[in-house]
Amino acid sequence: MSESKDFLRTIVEADLKSGKYKKIITRFPPEPNGFPHIGHAKSIFINFGIARDYNGHCNLRMDDTNPTKEDTKYVEALKDAVQWLGFEWKDNLYFTSDYFPKIYDYAITLIKMGKAYVDSLTEEEIREYRGTVKEAGKRSIYANRSVEENLYLLERMKKGEFKDGEHVLRAKIDMSAANMKMRDPLLYRIRHANHFRSADEWCIYPMYDFAHCLSDYIEGVSHSICTLEFENNRDIYNWVLDTLELKPPRPYQHEFARLGINYTVMSKRKLIELVEGGQVKGWDDPRMPTIAGYRRRGYTPSSILNFCEQIGIAKANSMVDVAQLEFCIRDDLNKKVPRVLCVLDPLKVSITNYEGFEEIDAPYYPHDVPKEGSRKIPFSKEIYIERDDFMENPPKGYFRLTPTQPVRLRHGFIISCKEIIKDENGKIIEIKAEYYPDSKSGSDTSGIKVKSAIQWVCAKEAKTVEVRLYDRLFKVEAPEGIEDINPNSLQIIKNALIEPAVINQKPDERFQFERQGYFYADPIDYTDETPVFNKIVGLKDSWGKKTKEDESPAKPKAQTKQVQVVGEVEPMNEEQKKFFNKYTEELGLNSEVANILAHDERLCCFYEESLTILDISVNPIALANIVVNEVARELKEKQVEELKFSAKQIVELVKMLEDETISNKIAKEVFEKMLKTGESPKQIVEASGLVQISDPSIILPIIDEVITQNPDNVIKFKAGNTKLLGFFVGQVLKKTAGKANPKIVNELVATKLK
């Protein structure tokens, strides 16, 4: 169990201590209407994890109350995902549909208590009668039906005597409740549809709010853990269980923050669109954020569990950087998988002074010497290297093979270029080179200095393989859907060359192709004739640093470093590890940020200094983010003494951000000014009136103005194009020059347009 307890485990422990429950029973209750995604992994990790930690059990419950969208294939996918992540439900696999008879009986009880009625308003009328946040709703005239009439109608609904939508069963609670969900919520609706398990036995189906709490109760669940968007449903949950006066103990609902990841869509509805629209090749396409997708791509269960552990459990929604998930898989594989040589874009090299054939012994785990395992790499006169590991006219700082610069063949000899052969179009098709017989790796007495070692394969012995390079499926941070797809998310290389041991000895399924990244033998398409490898992840985060080494030859210092780290995450020394642990464990930084800080001495000092002046109102995570982004950018070019701002001022800036005096956007502006003038952020904000506007009485008139100016969009929005919400919010922010608090604007616009 992790050392620091999260708020859910704190609750569970208190409930055990007080004797409220003897046994902890949780449940993971997906609707089988799609493949589970990484958000579900978080929920699985929490529910099964808590049950395991407190010697209880977790039920796997298919929440199958919507016959039109559900299917057995999704049930199987859910079971697979839970198992693959390493959890067991043992005998506890349940289906809400199995409880339909019991749930129906509870509905009858409520009617008899005068707490439920059959309503015959149309869907539209029901919506109208519900009122708004500001106005109370009004109760349906049908709410006065007698108990007998209600029982009679419900019975007939069940028998299939009415059409879809003709009647519904509603709880009689309070049409003026502040919580809109409590305004006589629907308990049952008519659906003439075939259910994948109960077939045509039922034509009325219980609503989530009625079925869920009762299913929890029926199963003896103690802690019903769900995501934050169900916060308002908690009142109904309690109302149903309390009103029915069920025998204790009864379950209680607790909410945690849903996982969101940037560059990723994460609702089954959107994922179905991708699958059905053919944007990806099925639910297990390696670009999909589904468990099946990660699995096919080559992610390990432990990397996903580590990720869930790292992001923790919070009560406020936030967006996690996809780089953190990538870090977790890289971190896992870095320690485990063999390193081999593969050339993706081969360029022929003939070694003119070599005759014959030899095999070079090379370890699979050169970074981890005690770990045994090696193979023979064949070497002969003709080899292939990576096309971009040779440059005829290299920029400064290019460390690989050039007409005047020798290079080492990884695990092998040093070679130098003697002649370049081109085709009629001027394209280089071959290099004639010479090798140095006394330069063999491990016994090099040649005295020749090289700046890097490159991958290569022996022409005669190499195997042709297909390599699938995956990039992020979406090109924007907060993708909406298909329109944001990255057109280059898949690149297929048909003729990559790999050293023969990978195919003949199959030392593993996952590999590091040195200098390229981590790869996985595709579990479905791999055959002996055509071996296929999926790229799992690159060697380091390259997103956002799209410019390649070769295109920006400046800064030789950074280059040296790049050569050193090629192939591995730089190991940390003891001191750095101490900082890393402190940041992740005590301060809750994500490992990517902690990693940057721990590795960079100057950033680390700066962060440490600011921590000493921190008071409890300031969040160390927000502070760390500014340090690794904004401050780091400055420190690339300057020394600490040259900075115009101090650690104290950065803390001040974070404080204003945290108490919402200023918005993120303004914080950036303030920071820019701090760089130039050295003034304190307080001074800057006060002098330029940059304070964030949160007062609705200032914001509302601006919203009105935007609404009047865009009548067409208002009509579209009301007709259901809810994406336009962003448009309206954007317009309002623009009119306030980014000073309005976006969260408040969002809420106000949403209410206005309702």
**Residue positions annotated with a catalytic role:** 31, 258, 268
Angle, helix 208-218 to helix 100-112, in steps of 10 degrees: 110
440 binds ligand ATP (CB under 6 A): no
Letters for 640-679 (x = contact with ligand ATP by CB under 6 A, - = none) are ----------------------------------------
In the complex, least distance from residue 289 CB atom to ligand ATP, rounded to whole angstroms: 10
Among 13, 15, 31, 53, binds ligand ATP (CB under 6 A): 31
629 binds ligand ATP (CB under 6 A): no
24 or 157: CB nearest ligand ATP? 24
Q: For residue 551, give Cα distances in angstroms to 384, 429, 478, 555.
A: 23, 22, 29, 12
406 binds ligand ATP (CB under 6 A): no
Backbone phi and psi for residue 456, each to the nearest 5 degrees, phi listed first: -160, 165
Choose the stretch contacting ligand ATP; rule: CB under 6 A; options: 24-32, 280-288, 676-684, 691-699: 24-32
In the complex, least distance from residue 75 CB atom to ligand ATP, rounded to whole angstroms: 11
Helices (H), 118-207: 123-129, 147-159
40 binds ligand ATP (CB under 6 A): yes
Residue that has been written with the tokens 């941070």 in this structure: 477
28 or 607: CB nearest ligand ATP? 28
258 or 418: CB nearest ligand ATP? 258
Contact 219, 94 (CB under 8 A): yes
| 3-state helix/strand/coil string of 50-114 | HHHHCCCEEEEEECCCCCCCCCHHHHHHHHHHHHHCCCCCCCCEEEHHHHHHHHHHHHHHHHHCC
Choose the stretch contacting ligand ATP; rule: CB under 6 A; options: 266-274, 456-464, 498-506, 507-515: 266-274
Contact 167, 120 (CB under 8 A): yes
CA distance 136 to 120: 20
568 binds ligand ATP (CB under 6 A): no
CA atoms within 13 Å, Cβ hemisphere of 203: 16
Tell me whether residue 13 is exposed, middle or buried, using C-beta atoms within 10 angstroms of its C-beta: 0 to 12, 13 to 18, 19 or more: middle
Q: Which residue is nearest to ligand ATP (CB)?
A: 39
Among 143, 147, 266, 693, binds ligand ATP (CB under 6 A): 266
Among 268, 297, 375, 535, binds ligand ATP (CB under 6 A): 268
**Residue 290 DSSP class:** B
Residue that has been written with the tokens 């944001």 in this structure: 484
268 or 468: CB nearest ligand ATP? 268
Quick check: helix, strand or coil at residue 393? coil
In the complex, least distance from residue 31 CB atom to ligand ATP, rounded to whole angstroms: 4
Q: For residue 475, give Cα distances in angstroms to 117, 198, 263, 279, 317.
A: 50, 42, 7, 14, 22
43 binds ligand ATP (CB under 6 A): yes
Give kind and range of the element (H or E) at residue 495: strand 490-498
Instruction: Please count the helices (runs of H) and the strands (runs of E) in the chain.
Output: 26, 27
Quick check: helix, strand or coil at residue 237? helix
In the complex, least distance from residue 30 CB atom to ligand ATP, rounded to whole angstroms: 3
Among 9, 21, 25, 29, binds ligand ATP (CB under 6 A): 29
233 or 300: CB nearest ligand ATP? 233
In the complex, least distance from residue 474 CB atom to ligand ATP, rounded to whole angstroms: 16
Among 9, 30, 310, 654, binds ligand ATP (CB under 6 A): 30
Choose the stretch contacting ligand ATP; rule: CB under 6 A; options: 231-239, 261-269, 346-354, 653-661: 261-269
Decide the pairing of beta strands 223-227 and 510-513: unpaired
Choose the stretch contacting ligand ATP; rule: CB under 6 A; options: 238-246, 259-267, 429-437, 564-572: 259-267
CA distance 247 to 212: 17
Tell me whether residue 240 is exposed, middle or buried, using C-beta atoms within 10 angstroms of its C-beta: 0 to 12, 13 to 18, 19 or more: buried
In the complex, least distance from residue 229 CB atom to ligand ATP, rounded to whole angstroms: 8
81 or 259: CB nearest ligand ATP? 259
CA distance 223 to 230: 14
258 or 451: CB nearest ligand ATP? 258
CA distance 492 to 468: 5
Among 12, 24, 25, 42, binds ligand ATP (CB under 6 A): 42
In the complex, least distance from residue 722 CB atom to ligand ATP, rounded to whole angstroms: 15
Among 258, 336, 665, 735, binds ligand ATP (CB under 6 A): 258
In the complex, least distance from residue 26 CB atom to ligand ATP, rounded to whole angstroms: 10
In the complex, least distance from residue 285 CB atom to ligand ATP, rounded to whole angstroms: 17
- The residue type of 353 is N
Token reading at 667: 């914080």
Tell me the site size for ligand ATP, rule CB under 6 A: 14
Choose the stretch contacting ligand ATP; rule: CB under 6 A; options: 3-11, 142-150, 262-270, 529-537: 262-270
288 binds ligand ATP (CB under 6 A): no
Letters for 222-241 (x = contact with ligand ATP by CB under 6 A, - = none) are ----xx--------------
In the complex, least distance from residue 216 CB atom to ligand ATP, rounded to whole angstroms: 11
Residue that has been written with the tokens 């009548």 in this structure: 711
267 binds ligand ATP (CB under 6 A): yes
Token reading at 69: 């969208």
In the complex, least distance from residue 317 CB atom to ligand ATP, rounded to whole angstroms: 9
For residues 626-656, one letter each, b for 16 or more C-beta atoms within 10 angstroms of the residue's C-beta and e for the rest, the string is: bbbebbbebbeeeeeeebebbbebbbbbbbb
Contact 300, 333 (CB under 8 A): yes
Choose the stretch contacting ligand ATP; rule: CB under 6 A; options: 29-37, 197-205, 210-218, 287-295: 29-37
Q: Is the peptide bond before 30 cis (omega within 30 degrees of 0)?
A: no
Among 644, 651, 686, 647, CA closest to 666: 686
39 binds ligand ATP (CB under 6 A): yes
Residues near ligand ATP (CB under 6 A):
29-31, 39-40, 42-43, 226-227, 258-259, 266-268
